[in-house]
Structure 1
Amino acid sequence: MKPQASILSRSLALALAMTLCASAQEEDIPLLLPGEAAAVEAQTAEIYKLLGPVVRTAASSVVTVGSASPNQSCFGAVIGDGNHVLSKWSEVIVSRQPLRVIDSAGVSRPAKIEGVYEEEDLAVLKIEGTPLPAVKWNAAGDPELGHFLVAPRPDGKAAGFGVVSVLERSLRESSQAYLGLMGDIDYKGVGAKVKTIEPNTGVAAAGLKVGDVILKVGDRQVSGLLELRNSLNDKKPGDRVAVLYSRGGKEATVDVLLGGRPHIAQPTNQRLKQMEQMGGAVSRVRDGFSRIIQTDMQISPQQCGGPVLDLKGEVIGLSVARTDRTRSFILPAAEILAMLKRPAADPSVARVEVTREEPVMQPGQGLQRIPRARPVPDAQGVERMRRNIRDMQRLMERMQEEADALEAP
């Protein structure tokens, strides 16, 4: 690793550790003393300054997409001959016509929608004027878990940064590999204990039984239910995988044919929608992508649609969604290149299904702004609140792990 990249890695690690405090500061929650708040602000500014050289080259291939009004819809990435832009379909379609893009030099250009890739929520725009530098996609390999990522803005600065939190996987149930079992969340030993087995599935045909403990899937050791689920991220229905398990103290290996995850209807949960938006606005379309890389990068829906880089400045993908306070999704470069080889749909017949966020209203009342409580902080109160926030964070992480584990791997 180059010295500059090493410095960036250490600096970014520090900044990420302070993200919770910084976010709380923005929400006017008295978690930080004035001196601490000033230190967070200064160090965050320094991080973004360090990222400047990383994003500078790629920024010339980033544009702002919107209408003639000053409101920005989203970012876009210049592709192909330099007169086409790839951007978020669900954000572009709600813009007031006529569409325009603003390049890194601040020049506004007319644009029109030329084609749509509905399944990935992406649109191809045709722009006028002198060709712009096109994105150079690096599809040689996906970034590894924990690797730093950064999203550039058209002005040569960073829109946000974060790390790879979950490796590439599909968000479509029919495309997700499925063993056919449910794990026991109360099991505390090594591995993942089988609680139930679905009939007519790969594990049922292979002879696994309730009470067996899965120790390894393929080449991946299984330490628990979350690891069992993650072991299937790079698999697809129809693949065969070796499963090492223990039964009565004896280990054995079986060959399992993976199926497709069955669709399970999810009830609408208004409270869950509210929790998703606690960290700010979320993208209109934020699920159902064929392949995505998950990151904790904090970008707004209006900053999606642009390229995402590693610390070497290589473009590894395109930001396609901000889904909640801790998750943003990136479409890998290899998927983009494969997609662009396919014909795009006619925009006049393309459709977009957005997740609409309805305001919560009491019967007989109009939409109201709930006033913020602004308690007067004291030393003991601030420390108590910090402890509560840390406890809540650990609880939320545990709840997320258990929720993931409850979905049958």
Structure 2
Amino acid sequence: MNIAETGTEKIEMGKLLYSINAADKVMRSVLGSTLFNLPKINSQPYLGAMVVYNSSPVQFSLIKAGSPAEKAGIKVGDELISINGKAIEKASEFAPEILKYWADDEVAFEWTNASGKMTKTFKLDRRGQSVSNHPADKFEGGKSARRDGFNAIFTHDAAIKTEDCGSPVFDWEGRFYGINIARFSRTTTVVIPKKTIVEFVTKHVK
């Protein structure tokens, strides 16, 4: 089957879908959303530093013990110059710049203190995940480590295990709808749609 055949399958809530895992087991589900963006929440990187509100130059106001910022040698009162070569001139630019990155990304910080200009390249950490005893958070296989920070995705209610993400999604007529990419909750699996896949393949595979 040519997945790039004309047209894009219509993302309609309530449509019956089917997923096939690595063991060839067919799982039925119901399409649960239209296309939407799922911003970074659990996938936000952890620096362990805060800056003084509205400061310019940007001054660090809090450095958490054991954080990447502390390990890099950044201290309260130090003034940030740049992140990966991008100048950070006011406090409002700090958080949006950090949120462009992911846990385990390497970042180069440049800052000043009483000793002069400092530079250090280090990795951002993962944020600690809250522990919940709610039944909705207790299910076989658990949630995917990365389950947000996606654009133009849809969801369905198949109980896809994390190790089965990457499996295809079809409708009852065999039309390809997308690929399962993350288990979000007990009742929700995230799918990257056919249109996005086709656009990526067309752009990057010659």
Q: TM-score when scaled to structure 1?
A: 0.28
Q: 2:187 aligns with which of 345, 348, 351?
A: 351
Q: 1:263 to 1:193 in 2, by over 3 A?
A: farther
Q: Is the 8 A contact 2:60 2:76 kept in 1?
A: yes
Aligned match of 1:227: 93
Q: 5 Å matches for 1:75-114?
A: 80-81=4-5, 85=9, 87=11, 92-93=13-14, 112-114=16-18
Please tell me the residue identity of whatever aligns with 2:88.
V
Residue number in structure 2 paired with 1:205 = 71
Q: How far is 1:81 from its partner?
A: 4.0
Decide which of 135, 159, 172 is 2:41's aligned counterpart: 172
Distance in 1 (CA, whole Å) between partners of 2:129 and 2:91 is 20
1:235-256, Cα deviation, whole Å (9 max, x unpaired): 2111221101111382211222
Change (3 A) 1:170 1:182: same
Determine if the alignment matches structure 1 residue 342 to structure 2 residue 166: yes
Q: Per the alignment, do residues 83 and 342 of structure 1 end up closer, same or farther by CA in structure 2, a change over 3 Å counting?
A: farther
- Greater share of strand: 2
**C-alpha distance after superposition, 1:152-183 (max 9, x if no partner):** xxxxxxxxxxxxxxxx995132x222211111
In structure 2, distance between residues paired with 1:345 and 1:85: 11
Task: Provide closer, same or farther for how the CA distance between residues 82 and 351 of structure 1 changes in structure 2, counting only shifts above 3 A.
Answer: farther
Q: Deviations over 1:80-122 (max 9, x none)?
A: 445872526xxx13xxxxx5xxxxxxxxxxxx42349xxxxx9
AA partner of residue 342 (structure 1): G
Q: How does 1:57-136 map to 2 (within 5 A)?
A: 80-81=4-5, 85=9, 87=11, 92-93=13-14, 112-115=16-19, 123=31
Question: Secondary structure at 1:256's aligned position in 2?
Answer: strand
Counterpart of 2:187 in structure 1: which amino acid?
R
Gaps of 5+ in 1: 1-78, 94-98, 100-111, 117-121, 125-167, 266-287, 293-317, 321-340, 354-409
What do residues 364-386 of structure 1 show as CA deviations (whole Å, max 9, x unaligned)? xxxxxxxxxxxxxxxxxxxxxxx
Q: What does residue 148 of structure 2 align with?
A: 289
Name the CA distance, whole Å, in 2 between partners of 1:217 and 1:169: 25
Residues 343, 176 of structure 1: alpha-carbon distance in 2 compared, 3 angstrom cutoff? same
Distance 1:200 1:193 in 2: 20
Number of the residue aligned with 1:184: 52
- Return the letter of the residue paired with 2:149: S
Measure, in 2, the Cα distance between the counterparts of 1:195 and 1:184. 5
SS of the residue 2:120 aligns to: strand
Any gaps of 5 or more consecutive residues in structure 2?
21-29, 132-146, 155-164, 172-185, 190-206
SS at match of 1:85: coil
Instruction: Report how many residues are paired.
Output: 136
Q: What are the residue-to-residue correspondences of 1:309-348 with 2, within 5 Å?
A: 318=152, 342-344=166-168
The residue type paired with residue 48 of structure 2 is G
Instruction: Choose between structure 1 and 2 for higher RCO, CA contacts under 8 A separated by at least 6 residues.
Output: 2
- Cα distance in 1, alignment partners of residues 88 and 148 from structure 2: 26
* Corresponding position of 1:282: none
Counterparts of 1:202 and 1:351 in 2: how far apart (Å)?
35
Match of 1:261 in 2: 127
Tell me how far 1:215 sits from its aligned partner.
1.2
Provide the TM-score with structure 2 as the length reference: 0.51
| CA distances 1:177-209 after superposition (whole Å, capped 9, x unpaired) | 22111111153x22x211111111111111111
Larger radius of gyration: 1
2:89 partner SS: coil
**Residues 246/200 of structure 1: CA separation in 2 closer, same or farther (3 Å cut):** same
Amino acid at match of 1:246: T
Q: Secondary structure at the match of 2:11?
A: strand
1:342 offset after TM fit, Å?
Answer: 2.0
User: SS of the residue aligned with 1:235?
Assistant: coil
- The answer as to 2:84 corresponding to 1:248 is no
Cα 1:115–1:210 change in 2 (3 A) is same
Question: Is the 1:170–1:176 contact (alpha carbons within 8 Å) kept by the matching residues of 2?
Answer: no
**Cα distance in 1 for residues equivalent to 2:111 and 2:68:** 14
| Corresponding residue SS for 2:117 | strand
Deviation at 1:260, TM superposition (A): 1.7
- Which residue number corresponds to residue 216 of structure 1? 82
